[in-house]
Amino acid sequence: MKNKHAFQLILYIVLILSILLIVSVLPGIDLEGPIRISPQNEGLRSILIVLGGGAMGSTLRAILSMSAIIYGNIDTGTSLPFYFQRAFTGLSASLIVYFIFKGLLLSPNTPAQYINFSGILVLSIMSGFFADEFLRQLTASLYRLVNKDARVDEKINNLTMALGIDILDNYDGKFCFFLTDTDGNTLIPAMSTRRLTVTMNREYILHWYLRPKTETENQDSITEDLIVSGGKTSETVTFTIVPHLNAQRLAPREQTVSFPVHRRSETKTIPFSITTENERPDLWLEIFQKNRLISVINVNLNFEEAPNSSTLNP
C-alpha cells in the first residue's frame, strides 16, 4: 500500500509540474516570478504547450486509475510502474497529434498569430488522456493501410485519405490585385506605401488574379509572393479567396479559381463600397488551398471625403 501511495504522490507532482509549464508559456497569462517562460520562438512555445498538455492529460488518467485501485480496492492485475509509464506515454501521443495537425492541416507558411494556442492545449490534453487508445488505433491503421507491396506515393495517399486530409499542391507565383471605380478607371497605388486612395460613399471593384513569376508585371497591379511548398507537384492548382471588409458582408462570400501552374489564372472581381459607417475600414483577403489558410493579403487604403479627390488612371 505504501508503494501505491508513493507512486500516486509522484503522479501528483508530475501533474503539478505540467500545469506550471502550461501556465508559464500560454499566451495571455501574465505572471511574474521564476516560473515565467517567454520563448521568442512561437514554434518552441507550441511544443512546450503540447508537452505540458500531454503530460497533464495522461497523468490525470493515471491518477484516476491509481485512485480506483487504492480507494476502490480494485485489483486490475497491472503493475504499478505501468501507471507511471502511462504518464509519459501521453507526451509521445500528444507530439504525434500535434505534428499531424501542424504538418498536414496547416500550411508551413501560416503565421504564428493565426495559431490558436488554446486549441492546441485542448488537443494535447485529450491526446494525452486517450494516449493508449490513440496509439493502438494509429498502429492498426498503419498496418492496414501501408503494406510492403504498395508504392511510397500510394502509402502516403492511403494514409492521408484515411485521415481525411489532402496534401497541398506546390505553387510559386504572384498574387496580383488592383482597384477600379464603376467607370472603369484604375486607381494608381502610391509609389512609396503602395496605398490606394479611395473616396467615401463610392463603389469600387477589386480585381485579382494569380500569375507565374516569369510573367511581365502590370505596373498598376499590387503583387505579393504566394508560395506553397512541401506538398506535391501538380499540373493544375486551385485557390479560394475569402474577402473581408470589417462589418460589411461582401458578395460573393468567396471565389475559387483553378488554373495550370505555369499559366496565369482568370481575373476575378469583388465589388464593394466604402461608407462613412465603416469608420475607415480595413480590406483584406484570405487565401485558402484545400480548406487550409495559405496567406492573408492586406489591401492598404487611404480615405478622402471629396468625391473627385482620388487619383485615377483612365
H helix runs in the chain, sequence order: 2-25, 42-72, 80-100, 117-129, 131-145, 152-162
pTM as predicted: 0.50
What pLDDT is recorded for position 201? Answer: 80
What pLDDT is recorded for position 34? Answer: 44
Which stretches of the chain drop beneath a pLDDT of 50?
33-36, 39, 161-164, 278, 308-314
What pLDDT is recorded for position 35? Answer: 46
Instruction: Spell out the domains of the chain, with CATH numbers in brackets.
Output: 2-162 (no CATH), 171-313 (2.60.40.10)
Burial zone of 30 (CB within 10 Å; 0-12 exposed, 13-18 middle, 19+ buried): exposed
What pLDDT is recorded for position 17? Answer: 84
What pLDDT is recorded for position 313? Answer: 45
What pLDDT is recorded for position 145? Answer: 54
What pLDDT is recorded for position 199? Answer: 82
Q: For residue 194, which amino acid is it?
A: R
Cross-strand partners of 24 = none
Q: What is the largest CA-CA distance in the chain?
A: 88
Q: Is 312 left (phi over 0), alpha (psi -120 to 50) or beta?
A: beta
What pLDDT is recorded for position 314? Answer: 43
What pLDDT is recorded for position 79? Answer: 59
What pLDDT is recorded for position 107? Answer: 56
Unique residue bearing C-alpha cell 498538455: 53
What pLDDT is recorded for position 309? Answer: 42
Helix pair angle (117-129, 131-145), 10° resolution: 90
What pLDDT is recorded for position 226? Answer: 93
148-169 pLDDT per residue, tens: 555 555 555 555 544 445 678 8
104: helix, strand or coil: helix
- Residue 97 CA to residue 111 CA, distance in Å, equals 20
- Residue 93 CA to residue 97 CA, distance in Å, equals 6
